[in-house]
Chain A
Amino acid sequence: MKKVFKVEDLDCAHCAAKLEDALNHVSGVNKATVNFLSQKITLDVEDGKLDDIVKAMVSTAKKIEPDCTILV
C-alpha cells in the first residue's frame, strides 16, 4: 500500500537524497521516495506493517536529518 507523509523543514536536497536512501533500507519498505520540492515522503510498504514502518521512518529521519519533522 502507498502512504504519503508531509515533511517540514527538510532543507537540503542532498539530505533528502540521503534520507530516501536510508528509508529504502527500512525493512518492509518496497519503495520510498522523498520529494524535496513538494516536501513529501511517499512510502510503498508491505500490507499490515504500516505502524512499525512509520515508527522506523521517524527514527531514521531523526538520525539522518534531525531538523526535519515528519507529520504523521
Chain B
Amino acid sequence: MTEKQKKQLCKILVAAIICIPAIIISMPEWAKLILYLIGYLVVGLEILKKAVKNIKNGQVFDENFLMSIATIGAFLLGEYLEGIAVMLFYQIGELFQSYAVNQSRKSISDLMDIRPDSAVVLRDSQEEVVDPEEVMVGEIIVVRPGEKVPLDGIVIEGSSTLDTAALTGESVPRTVVSGETIISGCINLTGILKIRVEKEFEESTVAKILDLVENASSQKAKVENFITRFARYYTPVVVMAAAVLAVIPPLFLPNYPFADWIYRALTFLVISCPCALVISIPLSFFGGIGAASKYGVLVKGSNYLELLSNAEFAVFDKTGTLTEGSFRVSEIVPEGMKQEDLLGIAAYAEAYSNHPISQSILEAYGRPIDKEQIHEMNEIVGRGVWANVGEIEVYAGNAKLMQDIGVVYPKEVPVGTIVHIAVDHVYAGYLLIADIIKSDAKKAIEDLKKVGVKKTVMLTGDTDAIGRKVAEKLNMDEVYTQLLPADKVARIESLLERKSQNGYLVFVGDGINDAPVLARADVGVAMGGLGCDAAIEAADVVIMTDEPSKLAGMIKIARKTVKICRQNIVFALGVKAVILVLGAFGIADMWAAVFGDVGVAVLAILNSMRTLYMKNKE
C-alpha cells in the first residue's frame, strides 16, 4: 500500500470506531448526531473539500460533489446512519479501487520485467557498472549468468544458454556462441558472455517492446470508446433524473411526503458515478495485452484484441510462415542401393558447389567430406554437377541433365525440387529437396478451425504445384499461388470483400517483404519478431516465436478479454439500471445504491483482473 492509501485506511477505521458506539449503545439523539458528524467529517471532509474546489473549476458533475450532496442530503433527512455509511463505503471502494489498480499495474510490469537495470561495460579493460542508456554502440559489455542481456549486440567471446521466456513465452533455452547476434531482454543462464553492442538502448529490442506494450492501450478498442462516451452522458442524465424525481412527483402526488422523494433522488446520486465501467474496461484490455505478452505475442493496441476476437478469415503467407523457409532434403529414394549411400554419393558430388541445394544435401549428410576422394568436379549450369568421386563417375542434377546424358529416370516424382543421381551412367535414384512445413503448422490450421475461423487461406509466390501440395497437407481452404507482392495485396482486397460485415481478416506473414499486405489486412500479424525490427514496425500483432500455432491461442486470449469486458458492461449497467428503477419506486434504499456504486466497481475490477491470469489451455 502507498502512503496515501494507508492514510485513507486509517481514516476509514477511525470513522468506523467513532460511529460504532452510536449504533450499539443507546444514547440521546443529539449525542448520536455528534458522533456521526465527527465520523462523517473524519472520512468525508476531504471529499467535501474536493467537491468545493471542483465546482470552482466549473466541474459540476463530479463524483465528489455527487457524494457530498447525497450524504449531506441524507443527514438533513435525519438518516444519519445511511449518510455516513454511504461516505464510508464510498471511501472503502475508492481505496480498494486504487489498491487493485496498483496491484494489477504491478503484476503487468512484473510480467514485462525485461527492462535491464544496469549494464557492465568494459572501458580501458576495467569493468564499469552503468545505466544501459549510457552504453554506446561498439562498446563491449559483459553479461554474467543470471543477468539480463541489457543491449542488442554480437557475442564476441564465450557461449551460453539464454532464457528467452520473457520475450517469447518459449521455455526451452536457446544457445548462443561467439559470432551470433544476441537480443536484449534474454536472461543469460550458464556462461559469461562478452558482447559488442550494436544498438543504443532506445533502439534495442527491450526498449521497443516495452514502449510498444506500454503504449498499446492508447489505441483504444471500440468498447472503450463507447464507454468513455457513455460515461460522459450517464452522470448528467442520472443527476437530471434525480432532480426531476425530487421535484415533479411531489407536485402530483400530494399524499406522499416530500422527504421520501428527496431520499429516492439521493439514491440516484449515489449510483450516478460511472467509475466501475470506466476503470474496468481499460483494465481488462491492459490485462489481455499483458497475458498476450506472457504468451510471447505482442499486441500493439486494444483495438486489435477486439478485431482478433472476431477473426473470420486467416490468411497465411507460405514461405517462412507455414514453412521453415529453408531447403532441406525431405526424401531419399534410391534405386539399387541404401539411402545413406545415395545421400553420401550426392554429398561428395556436390561438395564443392555453393548452390543452396548442394548446401542442403551436405547438411543432410552431416558428416565431414574427405575431399581427397573428389578427383574432379564440374558444375553444369542449369543442369547440376558432374564429379569423379573415388572410383565412380557421378551425375547429380535435374531431369534435363538425365536427358542429356541419356539416362532413364522416373517421370512420376513428388512435387518439389528433385536431384536425380546417376552413377557410371546408371540411374541410382533421387533426392527430394523441399521447404519443410513447420512442425506446428498443421496444428495451427486445425486450431484455427476449432476456434471457429471460417476460412484459412494461403498466399504464395511459389509455383502452383508446391503451393497446392503444402495447402493440401495442411488442409487449408483456399490457396493462391505464383503471386507477386502486388498480387497478394489484390488477393487480400478481394478476400476483404467476401468476408462478412462483422468478421475480420487476419494476415500472417514473416514481416520481411509483406509490409503492404500486413497494412491492408484488418489485423497484420508478423512472425518471428524476435530481432526483426521490420516485423515489429510493420505489424499490428507480433508473434515473437516462429510458431504459427500461436495465432489460435491469441484469438482465444482476445476472445476472453472481450468477453470479460462485455460481462462487466452488462453486469455494471444491469445492476445500476435495476437499482435506479427500484430506487425510483422507493424499493431500493441507499444501502443498495452504495452496492450499485462501490460493490459493482469492486466486482468489475476483480473480474477484469482475471484477464491477467489467463492461462492458455493447450
A interface with B by C-beta (< 8 Å): 9, 11-14, 17-18, 33, 35-40, 42, 63-64, 66-67
B215 touches A37 (CB 8 A): no
Quick one: closest A residue to B290, CB to CB?
A37
B282 touches A37 (CB 8 A): yes
Is B374 interfacial (CB 8 A cutoff)?
Answer: no
User: With A12-B97, A14-B231, A14-B274 in contact, do A64 and B59 touch (Cβ < 8 Å)?
Assistant: yes
Contacts of A40 in B (CB 8 A): 214
Contacts of B135 in A (CB 8 A): none
Contacts of A67 in B (CB 8 A): 50
A43 to nearest B CB, angstroms? 12
Contact of A17 among B58, B101, B231 (CB under 8 A): B231
Is B94 interfacial (CB 8 A cutoff)?
Answer: yes
B interface with A by C-beta (< 8 Å): 4, 50, 53, 57-59, 63, 94, 97-98, 101, 104-105, 108, 214-215, 217-218, 228, 231, 273-275, 278-279, 282-283, 286
Please, how many angstroms separate the alpha-carbon atoms of A42 and B215 in the complex? Answer: 9
Max chain A C-beta neighbours (<10 A), residue from B59, B215, B218? B218
Quick one: closest A residue to B50, CB to CB?
A66
Please, how many angstroms separate the alpha-carbon atoms of A39 and B104 in the complex? Answer: 13
Contacts of B58 in A (CB 8 A): 63
Max chain B C-beta neighbours (<10 A), residue from A17, A37, A40? A37
A17 touches B97 (CB 8 A): no
Quick one: closest A residue to B218, CB to CB?
A33
Please, how many angstroms separate the alpha-carbon atoms of A18 and B63 in the complex? Answer: 12
B275 touches A12 (CB 8 A): yes
B275 touches A14 (CB 8 A): yes
B273 touches A14 (CB 8 A): yes
Q: Which 10 A-B pairs have the closest CB atoms?
A: A13-B279, A33-B218, A63-B57, A14-B278, A13-B278, A37-B286, A38-B214, A11-B98, A17-B228, A14-B275
User: With A13-B278, A42-B215 in contact, do A37 and B105 touch (Cβ < 8 Å)?
Assistant: yes
Contacts of A33 in B (CB 8 A): 215, 218
Quick one: closest B residue to A36, CB to CB?
B282
| Interface contacts beyond A35-B217, A37-B104: sample of 8 additional A-B pairs, CB < 8 Å, sorted by A | A12-B94, A12-B97, A12-B279, A37-B105, A37-B283, A38-B214, A38-B217, A66-B53
Contact of B4 among A9, A17, A35, A66 (CB under 8 A): A9
Please, how many angstroms separate the alpha-carbon atoms of A51 and B126 in the complex? Answer: 42
Please, how many angstroms separate the alpha-carbon atoms of A40 and B105 in the complex? Answer: 12
Contacts of A39 in B (CB 8 A): 105
Secondary structure dominating the interface of B: helix
A37 touches B57 (CB 8 A): no
Please, how many angstroms separate the alpha-carbon atoms of A38 and B104 in the complex? Answer: 11
Contacts of B108 in A (CB 8 A): 37
Please, how many angstroms separate the alpha-carbon atoms of A56 and B3 in the complex? Answer: 29
Quick one: closest A residue to B109, CB to CB?
A38
Quick one: closest A residue to B53, CB to CB?
A66
A25 to nearest B CB, angstroms? 13
A21 to nearest B CB, angstroms? 8
A35 touches B53 (CB 8 A): no
Contact of A37 among B50, B94, B101 (CB under 8 A): B101
A68 to nearest B CB, angstroms? 11
Please, how many angstroms separate the alpha-carbon atoms of A17 and B275 in the complex? Answer: 11
Quick one: closest A residue to B49, CB to CB?
A66
Please, how many angstroms separate the alpha-carbon atoms of A3 and B538 in the complex? Answer: 22
A70 to nearest B CB, angstroms? 17
A11 to nearest B CB, angstroms? 5
Quick one: closest B residue to A13, CB to CB?
B279
Contact of A35 among B215, B231, B274 (CB under 8 A): B215
B285 to nearest A CB, angstroms? 9
Contacts of A9 in B (CB 8 A): 4
B132 to nearest A CB, angstroms? 18
B618 to nearest A CB, angstroms? 29
A36 to nearest B CB, angstroms? 7
Please, how many angstroms separate the alpha-carbon atoms of A18 and B279 in the complex? Answer: 13
A12 to nearest B CB, angstroms? 6
B278 to nearest A CB, angstroms? 4
B57 to nearest A CB, angstroms? 4
User: With A33-B218, A38-B105 in contact, do A13 and B94 touch (Cβ < 8 Å)?
Assistant: no
Please, how many angstroms separate the alpha-carbon atoms of A14 and B63 in the complex? Answer: 10
Contacts of A14 in B (CB 8 A): 63, 231, 273-275, 278-279
Contacts of B275 in A (CB 8 A): 12-14
Contacts of A37 in B (CB 8 A): 101, 104-105, 108, 217, 282-283, 286
B214 touches A35 (CB 8 A): yes
Contacts of A18 in B (CB 8 A): 59
User: With A11-B94, A37-B105 in contact, do A64 and B57 touch (Cβ < 8 Å)?
Assistant: yes
Please, how many angstroms separate the alpha-carbon atoms of A18 and B275 in the complex? Answer: 12
Please, how many angstroms separate the alpha-carbon atoms of A64 and B57 in the complex? Answer: 8
Quick one: closest B residue to A14, CB to CB?
B278
5 chain-A/chain-B pairs, Cβ below 8 angstroms? A13-B275, A17-B278, A35-B218, A37-B286, A63-B58
Quick one: closest B residue to A17, CB to CB?
B228
Contacts of B63 in A (CB 8 A): 12, 14
Quick one: closest A residue to B46, CB to CB?
A67
